[in-house]
Structure formats: C-alpha cells, structure tokens
Structure 1
C-alpha cells in the first residue's frame, strides 16, 4: 500500500508506509538519568467551545496518556507549555489538571512534577506576580507533586531589572516546602519571555539565573534549560552548584546533552518525549548499561522529527505533538484546546507522519495510515 503526501512545493509524492512498528515494551526504572516527558492534554471534541472559551478537556484520555508514559518508566512534567499553558489552557484548567494527574500518579506510583506559573495574572507589579506564583505553588504542593517554577510573562513585563527576579525567585524558594525545578524558557517558545532574568544579553541573564540558584542551592533540585543552544546549556551545567541537576529542554540537541561528556551530563525534561516516550525510554535503558553508542544509535535518528516539529514558529510544536498522538491511537480525534490543530500546514503534517512512521513510532501503522488518509481527504487530497 502507498499513500500520496503533499510536499512543500505544492506537489504530491508517493510514500510507502512501514508495516511493522518498532518493538518497544515497558521495562525497568532508569538508573543513570532522571527523565520527564512534558505531556499534552486531550481536548473534548464534542464540547461546544470557541478559541476564546475555557479549555474543554477529555480527562479520561488525558490521564490514560499519562499512564502510558509512566508505564515506560518516564516521569510526567505536568501543566507545562506542552499542555498548552497560556495557549488554550488557562489557570483554572491547569489547576484541575494538576490535581487529577497528581492523584493518578499517586495511584499508579508514577513520578510527577507540575508547572507553577502566573497565568491567572495578565499584568501586575512584581509583588502581584509573586502572589500569583504563591497561589499556584500552594496548589502543586498540596497535590503532593514536585514544583517546577515556570517563566512568567507577567514578571517579564513587570520587572525593571535583575533585582526583581532575584527578589521574586528568592522569596519563592525560601518558602518552597521541597526543592523545585527552575525553568528558563526561551523566547523562541514564547516571545513574551524576551529579556528574561532582566536582560536580552544571554551572558548577563545567565549570571542572574545562576545567582538565584547559588543563593538557594538547597531549594533547587535542578534547572530546565529551553534555549535550543547546546553549548550554552553545557556552560550553565558546568557552573551549577554540586547537587543541582540540569534537565535539558533542548528539543534540537537532546541526544548529545543527555549522553554528556567527561565533565557531566544533562537529565531530561522534554516535550519531544511525548511522542517519543517508549523509544526514549528504551534508549535511556541502553544508556544505563554504559552503552553510549547504543543510546545514540537509538535516539540520534529522532532528531530530524523533533527539529521538524519544533521548527519556527517553535511555540506551535504542540500541534505536531497532538497530531502524532492521534495517529498513534492515543486519542480518537485530532482536536486541540484553543483550536490549535490549525496552527500547522498540511505539508508539515505530511512530513511529520513520514518521519514518525519511518522511526516505527506508530503501534499500529495501518491505523496511522488510515487516519492520515482521512486527514488528507478533508484537505481534498485523493488517494
């Protein structure tokens, strides 16, 4: 069987899908790396909503996907940007997601960390930003999950310089019950975060970021760096206080960063590990044996798909992630909260399908092919 796929030139090409998936099964817990997948939410396709409505979430399908990730040994990074925080999922929806997912994690013994932000606040003073963070931190801590202090659009707008970041983050870290993960999300993921840590000069911003950590090393479990700059992440990693982990958020360069070098390595907290979950888990188990080459042989071929999904404008990578979840059979439809399924083009979807199929990511390649053909038919592509 073949399928006709559109390409970037406006033409059609013939592709022959694979017939067998990559054989991947749940395995033992990881020993050498801590690995989180930032997970997407599944929309309720029957809800009568508009792009401006609060998110309507299919809770059963959303939690089932988290159980899928946990079954392969991955931790779940919940209510992050992959879950469309600030792009369809508001704070009320995120709070419900945190409560439900944390309860599910406790029930199945899964690891979970949840995003703490300020998205209930559109604008405000640094003091109001701090109060918004405190409200969300309380929800996460009460759920029993680890907290991830996310970058704040409101703080980026309100801060007059590095001192405001030092004050706000210092206050939050002093009151945090348990060590948190600090998240530096670059403007390629959210343009409103330009100049975070008080400067558009990344060297100056890095110094402020590290000053926050150095002042409270006992309250920082680790940092997640999402700048798509491998060398900068390595440089930051080497400057961290002893005991503070680096979780790569670099969806362009993750194999080399997780593999590491003679001076250290990164753990992982990645959106791309949503569609790559079972394959990523298998690769990390190979790395646990000390087989770096085997790890790279498994994970390096996935980078082309990741770079495709995260291409500019990077913030719309969630569309590709949910698209692949639909093709893989993790949900019954390709609908997203906020209508974000419209954020990528048909040629983009076609390339994503081809790359994912080539990697063997679809548990049922025939189902993926049928769903891809259905989508193509909606766009007027006859087979």
Structure 2
C-alpha cells in the first residue's frame, strides 16, 4: 500500500506526497571500533506539566531515558545535557542535574576501557543572564564538573555565554580552562560552538577571527594535552575543522559537530579523520549506526550510500536560524514513536513552521529514517489538521 499525505508546498499551496523511502533496518549494533560516535540527545517534556516558555522544565523521564536506551542499542554513545537537550533554551540547571544523574546511572560501559558510554555537558547556565566576574564563572563550571564526575560521566566543557561575556582577552579564557582542566579527574572534551548555534557565543576564545581563535585553542590543548580527550567543533565549516584537526597533538580527537558535512569529515582523508559528537545522529540514529558498521568493515561505498541521503535532511533541520534545529530533532522522535506528543520544554516545538516540518518529513522519508512510516503519516496528518491544514 502506497502511503501519501497532502503537504504544504512552501508556496502557499498543497501537493500530494507519496512516500518513497525504505526504512533502514532497525537492529542492535555493537559500538563502532573505527570511530568514537556520540549522539547528542534531546529531552521529552511531561505533557501534563507546564512546560511553557520561561517555566521550569518538567521532563517525561520514561520516554527521555528510553530514547537514550534506543541510542545505546544502536551502538552509539550519548552526549547528554548538551545544546540538543535545550541547555540555555528551556532546560534549567535543576532539571539538568537530574538528567545527568539518571542518564549516567543507566549508561552501559565501554568494553575497551570500562568507562561509561556517556559524556555530559558542563557549563555555567546556573548563573543569571548578565555580567559575572571570572571567579564566579569558574565556580559555576566547578559546580557542574563535580556533578558530572560524581555521576561517573565524561565531562564536556561547554562553551559558556557567561565566560564569553566576562572575558576581556584570550588570557581570561586561558585562566578559566587551565583551572578546570587541572581539576578534572579524567580527560575532558572541549566544546567550540559557533555563533550560528548561539549568537551569544560570538567571538569565543577571545577573537572574532576563527583562525586566531584556532591558534588559541591549539596552544591551550598543547599545554594541557594530558587532560584533553578531544574537542567538539561545531562551526559548519569543513575546511576550518580539517585545518584545526591537522594541528592537534597525537592522541587528541577532533569530534565533529558539523551537521552539514559529517560524512566526509568522519570518513577522513586517508591520514586523519574526525570522530563524531552530533545532534543529527539522534535524528538519523539507525542510518548512523549502519554507516559506522560499514566503515568498520571497510565498505566505503556502502558508507557513502547510507549517509548521502541523510545530508539534505540534516541541512534542512539545521537551516537558519540554526538554534531551532532542536525542533526538528523532537519532531522526528515523535514521528518515530519515541515520545507521545510533539512537545518540547519551553514550548520550543513552535520554533519551526508547518511548511518547514513538511520538508523535513519528505527528506526524512527519502533518507529512510522514518522507521514506522504508517505511524509517521498518521501523526503528521493529525498535526497538520490541528494546524489548520486538511491533510
């Protein structure tokens, strides 16, 4: 039976869309051996709670944790409490602490070194908006670092709005990071998030020039290499990522956060490659697992074939304004049955229009990541009706 929907066409009209995708087989996968691969997971709101803009986040723990089990079953590790989980856009620090503790308690261990397959965001978002002295920024980071370490999770030192606002020079960044890296009991993942993901991070590392900022980052890592597992880079500029990757000391990973160019960056150039810490992996998890398995087996043709149709979907989800990509992640999780309703903490489900979501639906179908097409059609049809579109 051919499935179809009458979808907005982006020009004020509607067209009948016939589903064409073949869902990617959904099985259990072992973790990839050739790359480290983290999926940055979103959170599911409690539909019976007040998750309106500005209200404290109330999480549906059953579905939030079940989604993480889903990612682990596909061999992916989980990047928890990152921007995909709406840090700074609806997820407050009180809810974040509980999220870290609950997720870390369920995380399986890696077979190679017995550490948990979870890394968690460590930031400063318990501070109120506005200017704070550097010592207050350090103290906020330290509080969150303690939560991560108590949970047994690998810390990701997130880019901080408060630090960006407080720092007067690159030396201020050095003061903060030197202090934190010296305190961590295990190597951390650094985090460079471009301003397209968060405009408040413009000029991070003390310069508006990405090349000058990269010099600062390389110097910081070289002087603290024993304390740095890697750096997650989300600049949506493959050439800048490759240039930085080529300058990292041996043993320090470049985790791509480039949701536009991840297939080529993970594939590498024959000498160096990027590992992965990606929000898009939460949306295309079965495809990511299958592609990484093909890479492990040396089947680059299959690797390319699996990932190729996911790239237009990723570019749609992460299109400007990029910081609303989280809406697309939650939308696909809902279509695929991972949460009962299309909702987000802070009411962020309104961050994308019905025409945008219609294009996301088409591209998800083409990429084979609508794992239950009948359910996806039924759910999106109902959303269209509620939105005033007779589907």
- TM bucket (normalised to shorter chain) is over 0.9
User: 1:139 and 2:141 equivalent?
Assistant: no
Residues 169-318 of structure 1 aligned to structure 2 (within 5 Å):
169-318=177-326
User: 1:330 and 2:338 equivalent?
Assistant: yes
Assess if the C-alpha contact under 8 Å between 2:39 and 2:282 holds in 1. yes
Cα separation, 2, equivalents of 1:126 and 1:376: 48
TM-score norm. by structure 1 comes to 0.98
* Secondary structure of residue in 1 paired with 2:389: coil
Tell me the equivalent position of 2:390. 382
* Secondary structure of residue in 2 paired with 1:321: helix
* Secondary structure of residue in 2 paired with 1:62: helix
Residue among 111, 115, 119 paired with 2:121: 115
* Secondary structure of residue in 1 paired with 2:359: helix
Give the 3 Å change call, closer, same or farther, for CA 339–267 of structure 1 in structure 2: same
Residue among 83, 99, 122 paired with 1:81: 83
User: 1:150 and 2:152 equivalent?
Assistant: no
Q: Deviations over 1:229-259 (max 9, x none)?
A: 0011000000001100010000000000000
Q: Deviations over 1:325-351 (max 9, x none)?
A: 000011110010000000101100001
Assess if the C-alpha contact under 8 Å between 2:255 and 2:276 holds in 1. yes
Give RMSD over aligned pairs.
1.3
Give the 3 Å change call, closer, same or farther, for CA 303–20 of structure 1 in structure 2: closer
Cα separation, 2, equivalents of 1:132 and 1:142: 16
* Secondary structure of residue in 2 paired with 1:273: helix
> How far has the Cα of 1:320 moved from its partner?
0.5
Assess if the C-alpha contact under 8 Å between 1:18 and 1:365 holds in 2. no
Residues 21-40 of structure 1 aligned to structure 2 (within 5 Å):
21-40=23-42
* Secondary structure of residue in 2 paired with 1:118: coil
Cα separation, 1, equivalents of 2:183 and 2:41: 27
Cα separation, 2, equivalents of 1:293 and 1:223: 28
Moved over 4 A (4+): 106-110
* Secondary structure of residue in 2 paired with 1:113: strand
> How far has the Cα of 1:362 moved from its partner?
1.9
> How far has the Cα of 1:51 moved from its partner?
1.0
**How many pairs are equivalent?**
383
Q: Deviations over 1:242-291 (max 9, x none)?
A: 10001000000000000000330000000000011111011001000122
Residue among 62, 65, 68 paired with 1:63: 65
Cα separation, 1, equivalents of 2:52 and 2:245: 43
Cα separation, 1, equivalents of 2:295 and 2:383: 38
User: 1:358 and 2:360 equivalent?
Assistant: no
> How far has the Cα of 1:2 moved from its partner?
2.1
> How far has the Cα of 1:28 moved from its partner?
2.5
* Secondary structure of residue in 1 paired with 2:319: coil
Tell me the equivalent position of 2:101. 99
> How far has the Cα of 1:11 moved from its partner?
1.0
| Structure 2 unaligned regions, length at least 5 | none
